[in-house]
Amino acid sequence: MPITYDTTKKQFHLFNDQVSYIMEIVEDLYLTQVYYGQRITSFNQSSSFPRIDRSSFSPNPQQLSNKGFSLNVCLQEAPGYNNGDYRDGLVAATYSDGTKATNLLNQDYRIIPGKPKLDGLPATYVVDDQEATTLLINLSDPYRHLTVTLSYTIYEKRSVITKSTSFTNDSKTTLTLNRALSACVDFPTAEFDVIQMPGDWAREKQLHRQTIMPGLHSLESKRGASGVAQQPFIALADPKTDDKNGEVYGFHFVYSGNFKISTEVDPWQQTRLLIGINPFNFGWTLKPGESFQAPEVVLVYEKNGLNRMSQTFHNLYRERLARGKFQYEERPILINNWETTYFDFNEAKLLTLADDAKKLGVELFVLDDGWFGKRNSDTTSLGDWFVNSKKLTHGLKHLVDQIHNKGLKFGLWFKPEMVSEASDLFKEHPDWHIHIDGYPTSLGRNQLILDFSRKEVRDAIFERMTKILDTVPIDYIKWDMNRNMTEVGSIGRDSKEQLKTSHLYMLGLYEFLEKLTTRYPNILFENCSGGAGRFDAGMVYYMPQSWTSDNTDAVERLKIQYSTSFMFPPIMMCSHISESPNHQIGRQTNLNTRATVAMAGNLGLMLDLKHQTDADLAILKEDLQWYKEHRNLIQFGNFYRLLNPYDHDRYGAFEFLNEDGGLIYFVEILPQASKPWLRLKLQGLEANSLYEINHQKLSGSELMNYGIYMNTDLFGDFQSKLIEFKKIK
Ligand code: GLA
C-alpha cells in the first residue's frame, strides 16, 4: 500500500521506491505539507515545524490560542483566501454575502486503488489498478460550506505523483469561484533555480533558467490556449543540478487553455508553487450541490539530474497519457506540401510531389492548407470544409485514391476551431464566434474563433468533418489552430455565466476530440497550432504527435527540440527536413545537418523535391532508409540531452539508447579558429559492457567518463555527425 495514514501523528505518507510525499493534519484542522523528495523509509520527524510567535504580522487563527501557529508561515496543501495567509492561495470564491474569506479545514479522507478518470478532462491513467493508488482528502469551510477535494495519485513504479482538485458548493446559496487552482506545493526552502520555457511563434520553448526571485512571480497564458509564449511547465532545481546530476522537481499542467504557475518566496525563504487555470477572465458560478473539477498536474521528482526527470515524463506520456492505435506504433515518414506550394497547387502538382516523395521512401503524403472553399490566401474560407473543385478538379476522393495507389498514405489539414469572416459559414452564422455582442472583435491572421463552448457550433463542424472522413479514406489529420482569444464572450450565455466561456471552450474542444478520435481510431492525429502554440500535455491525450514549430531551421530547431524534450519524448515532436535557405529565417544550412536534426524527432519532409540536386536526392533517400531502420530506437528508446545548444551557440548533442545500443547526434553550430577539441561523454551506458563504436570496442565506463573526440574533423558552420554504437552481448 503506497499510501498510509498514521492516526497518531495524523500523517499521510505517499511513497514508492523513489519518492516520498508527506502531509500532516495540524491542530486537527489544517492540512500541512511536511516533506516532498527522495524516499524516506521510516519517518520519525525528529524536529517538527517550528512554532515561533510572529503574531504581529502573521496572525493566528481564531480557534487557536497557540500564538506560534500562523497560516502565513506554515507549509500548506490547500491555502485559502483572506484568512491570515498573505501568500496567494488555491481558491478564491465570492459568497452570497459578497465577501470572500475562505478557510479550508480537514474533514475526511479515502484511499482507493488505481486512479479515477477526470470527467471531460485529459489526464494520465492506469491500465491496471495495481499501478497506482489514490488519496482523496476532503477539506471544507464550515461557515461557507465550500468543500474542496484534493486528489493525489502515486504511481508504484514511477517517480510520479499527480494532483488535481475539485470544488463543491455544499451551501444553500450560489457562490462564484474566482480562482480554482489544481495544486499547491509548499517547500521549506528557496534554494532553487527556476526552469521555464518562454517563447513566441516560430521560437517556441526557449529554455530559460535563473535563480528563484523573492516575492510572487508567475508564468501564464491568457490566450485561451496554452500558447506560444509559455509552456505550462516549471522545474525547480537545485542550483547545482544539471542534465546528469542533482535534484529537481518538475511540474506539468495537463491542460491546453489559460494557465497560471506561480512561485512565491516568502520572508522566511520558503517557496509556494501554485498551478492551475488562470484566474484571469475566469468566474465559475456553482449553484448548491454543483462541483467544479480542476485539471491535473503531473509532479516528477528526480534526484539524478534533468535527463532522468525528462525520461520519467517521456515514459509516462508515451505509456499513460497518449492513447489509441498509434501509441506504440512507429510513425510514418511524411511529406507536407505547405512550404513547396503554399496555396498554389492543383492535382497534377500534388501528384508529382507524391511521386517524387515515394521514390525517396516517404510513407505518408499530407495535403496542407488551401484545399477547401475558396481558400487561395489566408483571408478566406475557414469553416467551409468543402473541397475546392477548381484546385482538385476530380475531387478529394480521386486524389486520395491516386495517392493510395502509389503506395502512400494520405493526410489532410484542418483548422476546425476557426472561421474566416469571408466564408459561407460566417454569412450563415455571424454570431457563432467568440465575441461580445455589440463590441468590436480583434482579428488574428484574418480569422475568428468558433465558439466551441456551444454545442450547436461543435455539432455543425463535426458534421462537416465527418462528411469528408466518412467518404474519403483519410489516414492522418493535421489539426491546426492559430489564433488566440480576445474579447471573450459567448452569445446566448447568461451574463452570470460569461466568465465560464474560456474553460467551457476547452471542455467543448476536448469533448469534440474525444468523439472524433473514437469514431476514427485508424486516423493518426497531429496537433498543430501555428507550430507549437498548443503543444501541451492536454493535447497528448487526444493526439499522439505534435508539430514542434513552424520554424524548421536546423539550428533553431536544435534549441526548440532540446527544450521540448524536457517534457515530451522525440516521438511526439514532429520535425521536418526543409529548404535552404530556410523559409522562416533565411539561414543556409547543409542537408546533412538539416537531416540530422530532423531525424532526432518524428521525421517528415517539407521540401520542393523538383528543385533538389540529384546528389541531395540520393542523400535523402539514404537518410530515409536509415531513419526507418533506426526509428524504433529514436521513437521508443531513452533520450539524453548531452550538450546544450543554448550555451554560446557552440554545440548541441543528443543520445538515444536502448538495450542493443544507441545513437549520438552531434552538431557544431559556430566553430572557432584554433578551436578547442570536444570530448563528448555519453550517458546511461552499462559501465562494464563493451560497445562497438567507430570500429572499436570500448567499455561503457570509458565512453561515459573519458568520452570520444567529436569535432576534430568538422570544418565550417552548422556541421554535424551521427554515430551509431552497438552493445556487444
Ligand atoms: C500554420 C501551421 C503551418 C501551416 C499553415 C497553413 O501556421 O503551423 O504548418 O499548416 O498554418 O496555413
User: How many other CB atoms sit within 10 Å of the CB of residue 281?
Assistant: 15
Residue 530 pLDDT? 97
Grid cell locating 670: 559556430
Q: Ligand 1: does its nearest atom lie under 6 Å from the Cβ of 531?
A: yes
Q: Is 370 in the pocket of ligand 1 (CB under 6 A)?
A: no
- Which atom belonging to ligand 1 lies closest to the Cα atom of 528? 8
Closest to 693 (Cα-Cα) out of 703, 678, 685, 684: 703
CA distances from 288 to 170, 176, 495, 513, 655 (A): 6, 11, 19, 31, 55
What backbone phi and psi angles, to 5 degrees, belong to 119?
-55, 120
338 lines ligand 1 (CB under 6 A): yes
CA 542–ligand 1 middle distance (angstroms): 20
Q: Whose CA is nearest to atom 2 of ligand 1?
A: 530
Whole-angstrom distance, CA of residue 29 vs CA of residue 391: 69
Does the CB atom of residue 530 touch ligand 1 within 6 A?
Answer: yes
CB of 204 closer than 6 angstroms to any ligand 1 atom: no
Q: Whose CA is nearest to atom 8 of ligand 1?
A: 530
**Could you identify the residue written with the cell 492535382?**
347
Residues 557 and 576: their CA atoms lie apart, in Å, by 10
Q: Is the CB of 413 under 6 A from ligand 1?
A: yes
- The identity of residue 96, as a single letter, is S
Q: Ligand 1 test: best mutation among 339, 413, 576, most atoms within 8 Å of CB?
A: 413
Mutate which of 368, 574, 605 for ligand 1 pocket (most atoms within 8 A of beta carbon): 368
Mean pLDDT per 10-residue segment, the chain (729 residues): 92 97 94 97 82 86 81 96 97 98 97 97 98 98 98 98 98 98 98 98 98 98 98 98 98 98 97 98 98 98 98 98 98 98 97 98 98 97 97 97 98 98 98 97 96 98 98 98 97 97 98 98 98 98 98 98 98 98 97 98 98 98 98 98 96 98 98 94 98 97 98 96 97
Q: Please give the distance, rounded to the nearest whole angstrom, from the Cα atom of residue 132 to the centre of ligand 1.
A: 40
667 with 696: CB under 8 angstroms?
no
Q: What is the pLDDT of residue 244?
A: 97
Q: How far is ligand 1, taken at its centre, from the CA of residue 342, in Å?
A: 9
Euclidean distance between CA atoms 149 and 180, whole angstroms: 11
Q: What is the whole-number distance in angstroms between the Cα of residue 336 and the centre of ligand 1?
A: 10
Atom of ligand 1 nearest to the CA of 413: 10
Helix (H/G/I), strand (E/B), else coil: 350: helix
Q: What is the DSSP-derived secondary structure letter of residue 332?
A: P
- Ligand 1 pocket, 192 CB below 6 A? no
Three-state SS at 309: helix
Cross-strand pairs, 526:
478, 545
Q: Which three cell numbers stand for residue 279?
A: 484566474
pLDDT at position 48 is 76
CB atoms within 10 A of CB 96: 12
Q: How many CB atoms lie within 10 A of CB 644?
A: 18
Q: Which residue has the cell 535523402?
A: 620
For the chain, give me the number of helices (H) and strands (E)?
A: 12, 39
710 within 8 A of 665, measured Cβ to Cβ: no
Residue 712 burial (C-beta neighbours within 10 Å; 0-12, 13-18, 19+): exposed
Q: Is the omega angle on the peptide bond into residue 581 within 30 degrees of 0, that is, cis?
A: yes
Query: Which residue bears the cell 567529436?
Result: 710
- Which residues are known catalytic residues? 480, 550
533 lines ligand 1 (CB under 6 A): no
Question: Which H or E element spans position 159?
Answer: none
**Around Cβ 627, how many Cβ atoms within 10 Å?**
16
Contact 669, 717 (CB under 8 A): yes
Cα 369 to ligand 1 centre (Å): 7
What is the 440 CA–ligand 1 centroid distance (Å)? 26
Residue 167 near ligand 1, beta carbon < 6 Å: no
Instruction: State the distance from the centre of ligand 1 to the C-alpha of 352, rounded, in angstroms.
Output: 22
Is residue 359 within 8 Å of 365, Cβ to Cβ?
no
Tell whether ligand 1 has an atom less than 6 A from the beta carbon of residue 368.
yes
Residue-level pLDDT at 56: 86
> Which tens digit of pLDDT belongs to each residue from 241-287?
999 999 999 999 999 999 999 999 999 999 999 999 999 999 999 99
Q: What is the DSSP letter of 120?
A: T
Nearest CA to ligand 1 atom 3: 530
650: three-class secondary structure by DSSP: coil
How many whole angstroms from its chain centre is CA 151? Answer: 21
Burial of 214 per CB tally in 10 Å (0-12, 13-18, 19+)? exposed
CA 339–ligand 1 middle distance (angstroms): 9
Task: For the chain, give the number of residues.
Answer: 729
Beta strands 284-286 and 175-180 are antiparallel
Beta carbon of 482 within 6 Å of any ligand 1 atom = yes
**Euclidean distance between CA atoms 320 and 471, whole angstroms:** 32
**Measured in angstroms, how far is the CA atom of residue 412 from the centroid of ligand 1?**
12
CB 220 within 8 A of CB 278: yes
Largest CA distance in the chain: 85
Q: Residue 74: CB within 6 Å of ligand 1?
A: no
Q: Decide whether any atom of ligand 1 lies within 6 Å of the 480 Cβ.
A: yes
CA 156 – CA 582 distance, rounded (Å): 46
Question: Residue 605: which residues within 8 A CB-CB, separation 6 or more?
Answer: 333, 334, 335, 336, 357, 360, 362, 576, 577, 578, 620
Q: What are phi and psi of 142, to 5 degrees?
A: -65, -20
Which residue's alpha carbon is at the smallest distance from atom 11 of ligand 1? 530
In sequence order, the 6+-apart residues with CB closer than 8 A to the CB of 729 are none
- pLDDT confidence of residue 54: 83
Are 80 and 103 in contact by the 8 Å Cβ rule? The answer is yes
Contact (Cβ atoms closer than 8 angstroms) between residue 697 and residue 686: no
Q: Which has the closest alpha carbon to 4: 17, 18, 19, 23?
A: 23
Distance 338 CA to ligand 1 centre (A): 8
Give residue 51's pLDDT.
Answer: 83
Give the global pTM: 0.98
Which atom of ligand 1 is least distant from the CA of 550? 8
Radius of gyration of the chain (CA): 27
Q: Given the DSSP bridges, would you call strands 30-38 and 19-26 parallel, antiparallel or unpaired? A: antiparallel
The string of DSSP codes covering 676-710 is PP-EEPP-S--TTSEEEETTEEEEHHHHHHT-EE-
- Residue at grid coordinates 505523483: 161
Q: Are 654 and 634 in contact (CB under 8 A)?
A: no
Residue whose C-alpha cell is 500532516: 24
